[in-house]
Amino acid sequence: MEQLLQMIDQYGYIALYGLLALGIVGVPVPDEILMTTVGSLTVGPDPLLDYGTSLAVCFSGSMTGMLISYFLGRTVGKPFLYKYGKWVKLTPERLGVAEGWFHKYGMWAVTFGYYVPGVRHFTCYLAGVSNVGFWRYLLYAGAGGLVWCVSFLTLGHVIGINAPHIIEVAHRYMGITIAILVILVIVIAYFYWRYRKRTLTRT
């Protein structure tokens, strides 16, 4: 993330556009974290980025990646993915999961697949492989992409506005939070130990 933010600081919206496009195609870019961080950079008296422009650039970048994936699916098909997908983390196992989604939910898998890392990279390819009509694909992919970008950019924007209050609350209740987490871990470990003990006794 530090390197990605340095790229955005140096090249601005062009870097943001390219990173989102590559992330959708399959290059391992932490898309959601990136957009949330970008959203946090749109607040303050002298923000580094503008919210409206960032939204337009993120949406354009994600749609560019979606269209590249779609046309690759139409032209080269699944054999290409099986052969070269491993270089961008698109493994046959992930392809199988995405195919299950696509066959079960149809084009809605493209719309909501944005929210599932490892699936969104494949649903676009599969839409192309299945020869889904271009305008139909564009409607479903565009609707999902717009909601996806707005969600994470707005989340980062809200976090950025409330960052001082969030930090203050985190510091105030950090001790209590850690204590609760420790107790939860102990309770879960205890019940797991009892379950394992009972299972071994039965066998």
Torsion, CA 20, CA 50, CA 12, CA 47, rounded to 10: -130
For 156, the 3-state DSSP assignment is helix
The structure tokens listed for 201 are 């006794």
For residue 176, count other CB atoms closer than 10 A to its CB.
9
pLDDT for residue 150: 92
pLDDT for residue 178: 66
CA distance readout (Å), 145 to 68, 180, 192: 14, 37, 41
Mean pLDDT over each residue of the chain, to the nearest integer:
79
Q: Give the 3-state secondary structure of 57-72.
A: HHHHHHHHHHHHHHHH
pLDDT for residue 169: 55
List pLDDT tens digits, range 161-180.
Answer: 775 565 565 556 656 666 67
The structure tokens listed for 21 are 């496009």
Name the more confident of 137 and 3.
Answer: 137
Residue 182 DSSP label: H
For 54, the 3-state DSSP assignment is helix
The structure tokens listed for 144 are 């999902």
Q: How far is CA 64 from the centre of its chain?
A: 16
**How far is the C-alpha of 69 from the C-alpha of 108, rounded, in Å?**
17
| Complete DSSP assignment for 94-135 | HHHHHHHHHHHHTTHHHHHGGGSTTTHHHHHHHHHHTT--HH
**How far is the C-alpha of 23 from the C-alpha of 27, rounded, in Å?**
5
**How far is the C-alpha of 85 from the C-alpha of 89, rounded, in Å?**
6
**How far is the C-alpha of 202 from the C-alpha of 84, rounded, in Å?**
48
List pLDDT tens digits, range 92-108.
Answer: 666 676 677 677 777 88
CA distance readout (Å), 165 to 130, 159, 161: 49, 10, 9
**How far is the C-alpha of 56 from the C-alpha of 117, rounded, in Å?**
22
